[in-house]
A and B are shown apart, each in its own frame.
Chain A
Amino acid sequence: MAVLPPGASRLLARVQPVAAAPGTLLPVGVEVWHLDLNACADLQSEARDLLDDADRRAADRFTRPASRIRQQLTHAALRCLLARHLGTQPGLLRFQVGPHGKPELDPKRDLRFSLSHSGTDALVALAWGREVGVDLERIRPRRSLEQLAMTCFSPVELAAWLAVPAADRLRGFYRFWACKEALIKAWALGLAAGLQRFDVALAPQTAPQLARADVPAAPPGDWVLRELQGPAGYAAALAVQQLGSP
């Protein structure tokens, strides 16, 4: 097992494990980690040293310092988490980008990952031997929420969301959306999956379900959804391929 550099150990000491929502558990072989970007601001320079040249060049293309710093911290944390599992150095990992923009290890490994950031926080999900997607959404009021819901949600989801009490509707919107986004990330399709082509079902005291999927380009198999106990003020969800899927 490779010894991680001190910068990696310091960064790993700042990431916190994330649990599934009360009453549910993360699937076996799946980890989710939370990174508070503000709390890691003092590790910017160490984070940059953990990247490879391609990552550093990508970071330097950003005009906004905040975007550059976020990219460096989140990618360094991702590298450290992957390297810890794979027994290598963070800077030696190489990535490639799939046709719809989802990054993956190059060469492809059994260890899959997904990264999401929103506001000042980020989540990294790792899964052995199955596809994974994670989404983090800072809950904030939006103009034209109902119009947006009509764009994002299937008719079944829209009806379920409109049945949510008005006081919970904003949070409910983000809960639905986080589940949908986690799925389209796990499928590595992004918005090209077609947001109307599948239904997510939310119910109290139970894990969300993928109730319908008509997405021919998605990887085969069944999909497990979990809401996550992310940072306060956020909605977060995880989607993973069911074990035993082809």
Chain B
Amino acid sequence: MTSEELRAALLQAIASVAPEADLGKLKGDVELRPELDLDSMDFLQVVTRLGEALHLDIPESDYAQLATLDAGVAYLAARVPQAP
């Protein structure tokens, strides 16, 4: 998957948990939870749905690496097969 596809997957997981969130203005380097007012359970659901969508096991110890959109994409890019 390309970085753009991974970013889209992450945004889709967020949108599925917080459909009211305005993701169009979301900056890549801003912390997702306070910016989007996601509580820890919302965040847990985002990661769970992301893992399901990408068929990826994301351990709890790695959740901090998904704190921002850019960090999340970098994390996923290292674990999901990339397009040539």
Interface residues of A (CB under 8 A from B): 61-64, 66-67, 70-71, 100-101, 118, 137-138, 142, 148, 151-152, 177, 181, 190-195
Distance, CA A41 to CA B81, complexed state (A): 48
User: What 0/1 pattern do residues 34 to 56 of B give for CB contact below 8 A with A?
Assistant: 11110111011100100000000
Kindly identify which residue among A62, A148, A194 contacts B45, using a CB–CB cutoff of 8 Å: A148
Q: Is the CB of A61 within 8 A of B44?
A: no
- Closest residue of chain B to A62, judged by CB? B35
Kindly identify which residue among B30, B36, B60 contacts A61, using a CB–CB cutoff of 8 Å: B30
- Interface membership of B67, Cβ < 8 A: yes
Q: Is the CB of A63 within 8 A of B60?
A: no
Which residues of A lie under 8 Å from residue B34 when comparing CB positions? 62, 67, 70-71
- Interface membership of B78, Cβ < 8 A: no
CB distance from A25 to the nearest CB of B (A): 27
Distance, CA A63 to CA B29, complexed state (A): 11
Q: Is the CB of A192 within 8 A of B48?
A: no
Q: A61-B27, A63-B30, A71-B34 are in contact. Are A152 and B64 (CB under 8 A)?
A: no
